[in-house]
Structures are given as C-alpha cells and as structure tokens.
C-alpha cells in the first residue's frame, strides 16, 4: 500500500503528467495518487479572487485563460473514452470557477467563496491525471478529494476530521484499491461538516497525502517534487547544500516549521502517529534515492540541516502585577491561542512570556485581549534560524560553537525546538542568510572540540 503525492511542478504540463504515469506504473501493489494544482494555478486563482470585486470582467477573462490552459493539456489525451469523461469535467469545473468569481464580485472575497474558487485547481489537475492513466491503459479511478478528506468548518486552513475521513476512505477508496485500481484525487481540498468546500492551507497537498496514507495504513508515503530530497540548507543561500539520505520525524517537522519548503509542516504528524515512512523524491530524476523520513534517528555525525523563516514578529508579554500571579504563562499562552496566534518559538519565565509569531499577527487586538493582566511589547523585522542534528544533543560544545557565530547583531531569542536535536535563534532579517551559511559551515561532522577557537 503506497500513497504518492505529486506537486505542481510535477504535473505542470502533459509531459510532466506522463512522467507521473510512468513513475506510478513502476510501483507494485495498491497505489493512491494525490496531486496538486498545475504549477502556478493556485496563485492565479488567488489573484482572480482578489481582482473580482473591483473588476469582474478581468477576473472572468482570467478564468477563461486558465480553462484554456487545462484544455491544452487535455489535448494530449488520445483515448476517445478518456476524453468523453475529461472534456465535460474540465468545462464543468470552469463553470464552477466562473460561478465562484461572480459570487465574489457580488458579495466580496469571503474565505468560503475563495475556497470554492481555488479548489478548482486540484479538481482540474486530478481529472487530467486520471485521464492520462486511462489513456495509458492503467486501471484507475478518480475521486473528488472533498468526498474523502473531511474537515472542520474553517476556511483557508481547515483541520482534518480524522475519524470522518477514515470512514469516507474505508467506504469509497478501499474498494477501488481492492480491485487493483490506481486511485487519483486532488490534494489540498476537503469538505466541512455542512459539505462546504474547505482547504488545508498553502502546500496542503502534502498534508492530504499524509492524512490519506495514515487512514490507509500505507507502507510508505512518497512526496514527489522538483528537488532530489531534503537538503541541508536552501541552495540559494548555501550553494554547497547536499541531500540528506535520512531524517527523523522530529527533525523533518522542525525543518518544515522553520522554512524548509520541500514539506508542509503538518505532513509529518499523521505519518509519525502511524509510524509510516515518508520519502521525498524528485519526479524529474526518479532513480535518485531521495530522503527517507522515519522514526529512526540517523547518526548524521554533525548538524543535519539549517533552515530559516522570515517574516516574524517577537512579542513579549509581561505580567502587569508584581510578583506575577501563579499561572501567568499558562494564561498568556491561552490568550495567544484564543486570538488565533500561532507560536513559532518561545521561552517562558515566571513573569514574562516571549514568543516569535508570524508578522501578520494583530498586535493591537492581542494587547486589548491581555490588558487586564499583561503588557505587550513587539518587535518586527525578524527571522528565525534553526539547526537540527544529533550532534546538538550529544556534543557539549555544539551550542557554544553556534552561539560564537552571532557576531554581527543581537540574538533576540534562543530556544530548543523539537527536543534536544534542535537549536534555534531569532535574529534581525538582514542577518538571517549569513547565519544560515555560517551554521552550515560550522557543523560538518568534525568534532567541535578540535576546532580552532573552541575550548577543549
């Protein structure tokens, strides 16, 4: 049992979709394929949603252009049987997109209407991929991802209802797999308790694949992308970045949270809960071994990887009474949660809570919420830099060596995310890339106590 997810660049056009069919056909056993929208389509649909209230005609024309792009990809399908299903599906999805745009133009871009619109990307792509399998003579069956992945009622970043999803998958998906059909669905999309279309947040197709894989108790979840695996750093920042053959669940989740783009941060949780390995692979180089993510902790001999996340704000919540009342930190954290503020990194003292959050946080609303018991100070223009690896847990010199690298500017926060193997700092945006490069150079596997300038 295997779940294979293909990102937007892996289904960008007819040639890319042919590679998907070839890769999946080479796998044995039950296979479920989860696909993203064609490259660039989700961004285009979001742009249409933003334009529709002011200029409905331009937005409608943009929907027509996207429909034409999908018709062009569909033209590569030669089977008359496949086209009889595909062509009406493309046009039906286009009508749905046009209807959503008209509603947005009339009533504004509500989260529910935006979800209705942007779901069209995955509906289009999954129909195209299913037709390509049929065209190649591979027994397959298309599924509407909204009928399988059930969620709460939030729009834009819905949370999965795993029990309801498991029931839907058992009822709809498992019978197709039992017939040795390749099951194909769009990722990223789901449906709430009332049946309304929801989405799992940007990059959510990875998350969809992990949810489906967990419900199926898959042997492995494969994430097919346009890089050879998880790299030790962003190659645009560190040209010498290399592919890691293995990662623990914990380190992979930490890297994704701190900016590694190859995985959605929530992908690991469902897989780890069922101890299902996740493999990150390159659809353009399918023979490359990729990166295997599992519960085993690889002995990297040094720092496994470094990642950075920009666009952060540092909040300091200080108790307004001295001494701080018991439970101040718990009350402050609850206030953040109630305000919908996601904490990236933090540290707690008796009378002070310091947290790094996304810059989109409404600081004034939070300040009003906590005013009865806390004062709030904030600082913008920050980034978090995180390093993960076994050396950070086993080498007593590792963190000291890392801190010695921060000579160009202040460190606003130091914390250990993800357990003993993680180390993270919050620094000014302008220093983030320099720190990433220095950390990557610092941890190469050489014992730190032998390095020049580090005490032994």
Tell me the per-residue pLDDT of 78-110, one tens digit each, with 9 for 90 and over.
999 999 999 999 999 999 999 999 999 999 999
- H-helix or E-strand containing 281? strand 278-282
Question: Hey, is 278 helix, strand or coil?
Answer: strand
Question: CB–CB of 357/312 below 8 Å?
Answer: yes
Q: What is the pLDDT of residue 289?
A: 93
Give the domain ranges of the chain. 2-226, 305-450
Q: What is the pLDDT of residue 400?
A: 75
High-pLDDT (> 90) share of the chain, %: 64
In this structure, the number of other CB atoms found within 10 A of the CB of residue 347 comes to: 14
- Distance in angstroms (rounded) separating the CA atoms of residues 103 and 109: 8
- Distance in angstroms (rounded) separating the CA atoms of residues 56 and 59: 5
**Least confident residue range of 24-33, 258-267, 327-336, 386-395:** 386-395
Q: Which residues of 166-191 are buried (b: 16+ CB within 10 A; e: fewer)?
A: bebbeebbeebbeeebbbbbbbbbbb
Residue 441 pLDDT > 90: no
Residue 36 pLDDT > 50: yes
Token pair 């990194």 is found at 345
282 φ, ψ (degrees, to nearest 5): -105, 115
Which residues face 379 on adjacent strands? 314
* Digit-coded pLDDT (tens) for 50-78: 999 999 999 999 999 999 999 999 999 99
Residue 300 pLDDT > 60: no
Q: Rounded to a whole number, what is the largest CA-CA distance in the chain?
A: 77
Q: What is the pLDDT of residue 303?
A: 58
Question: CB–CB of 406/238 below 8 Å?
Answer: no
382 token code pair:
């920050």
CA angle 101, 107, 109 (to 5 degrees): 60
178 token code pair:
């039992």
182 φ, ψ (degrees, to nearest 5): -75, 125
Q: What is the pLDDT of residue 445?
A: 42
Rg, the chain, Cα only: 24
Q: What is the pLDDT of residue 439?
A: 85
The arrangement of secondary structure in 305-450, i.e. its CATH architecture, is 2-Layer Sandwich (3.30)
Question: CB–CB of 163/211 below 8 Å?
Answer: no
- Distance in angstroms (rounded) separating the CA atoms of residues 294 and 336: 32
Q: What is the pLDDT of residue 205?
A: 94
Question: CB–CB of 232/255 below 8 Å?
Answer: no
Question: CB–CB of 27/58 below 8 Å?
Answer: no
Which residues face 27 on adjacent strands? none
Q: What is the pLDDT of residue 413?
A: 87
> Domain 2-226 - what CATH class?
alpha beta
For the question of whether the overall pTM of this predicted structure is more than 0.75, the answer is yes
In this structure, the number of other CB atoms found within 10 A of the CB of residue 84 comes to: 11
Of 35 and 420, the structure prediction assigns the larger pLDDT to 35
Q: What is the pLDDT of residue 450?
A: 39
179 φ, ψ (degrees, to nearest 5): -85, 10
Q: Which residues of 238-277 are buried (b: 16+ CB within 10 A; e: fewer)?
A: beebebbebbbbbbbbbbbbbbbebbbbbbbebbbeeebb
Question: Hey, is 360 helix, strand or coil?
Answer: coil
Mean pLDDT of the chain, nearest integer: 90
Q: What is the pLDDT of residue 302?
A: 54
Token pair 């720190």 is found at 435
Helices (H), 31-79: 41-51, 56-74
């Amino acid at each position: 049992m295997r779940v294979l997810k293909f990102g937007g660049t892996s289904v960008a056009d007819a040639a890319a979709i042919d590679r998907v069919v070839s890769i999946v056909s080479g796998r044995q056993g039950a296979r479920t394929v989860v696909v993203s929208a064609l490259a660039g389509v989700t961004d285009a649909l979001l742009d249409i949603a933003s334009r529709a209230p002011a200029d409905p005609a331009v937005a409608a024309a943009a929907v027509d252009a996207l429909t034409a792009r999908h018709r062009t990809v569909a033209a590569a399908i030669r089977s008359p049987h496949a086209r009889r299903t595909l062509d009406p599906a493309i046009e039906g999805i286009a009508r749905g997109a046009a209807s959503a745009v008209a509603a947005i133009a009339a009533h504004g871009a509500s989260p529910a209407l935006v979800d209705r619109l942007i779901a069209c990307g995955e509906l289009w792509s999954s129909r195209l991929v299913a037709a390509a399998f049929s065209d190649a003579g591979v027994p397959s069956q298309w599924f509407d991802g909204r009928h399988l992945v059930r969620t709460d009622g939030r729009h834009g970043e819905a949370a999965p209802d795993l029990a309801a999803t498991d029931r839907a998958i058992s009822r709809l998906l498992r019978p197709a797999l039992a017939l040795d059909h390749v099951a194909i669905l769009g990722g990223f999309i789901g449906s709430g308790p009332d049946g309304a279309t929801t989405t799992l947040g940007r990059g959510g197709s990875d998350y969809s694949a992990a949810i489906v894989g967990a419900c199926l108790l898959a042997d492995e979840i494969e994430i097919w992308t346009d890089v050879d695996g998880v790299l030790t750093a962003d190659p645009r920042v560190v040209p010498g970045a290399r592919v890691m053959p293995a990662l623990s669940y914990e380190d992979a989740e930490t890297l994704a949270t701190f900016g590694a783009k190859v995985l959605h941060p929530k992908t690991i949780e469902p897989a780890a809960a069922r101890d299902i390995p996740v493999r990150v692979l390159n659809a353009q180089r399918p023979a490359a071994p990729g990166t295997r993510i599992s519960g085993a902790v690889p002995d990297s001999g040094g720092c496994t990887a470094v990642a950075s996340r920009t666009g952060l704000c540092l909040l300091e919540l200080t108790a307004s009474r001295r001494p701080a009342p018991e439970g101040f930190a718990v009350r402050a954290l609850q206030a953040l949660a109630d305000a919908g503020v996601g904490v990236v990194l933090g540290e707690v003292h008796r009378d002070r809570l310091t947290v790094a959050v996304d810059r989109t946080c409404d600081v004034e609303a939070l300040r009003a919420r906590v005013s009865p018991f806390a004062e709030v100070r904030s600082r913008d223009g920050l980034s978090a830099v995180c390093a993960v690896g076994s050396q950070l847990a086993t080498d007593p010199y590792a963190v000291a060596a890392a801190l010695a690298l921060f000579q160009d500017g202040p460190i606003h926060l130091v914390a250990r995310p993800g357990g003993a193997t993680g180390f993270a700092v919050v620094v000014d945006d302008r220093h983030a890339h320099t720190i990433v490069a220095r950390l990557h150079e610092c941890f190469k596997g050489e014992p730190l106590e032998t390095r020049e300038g580090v005490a032994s």
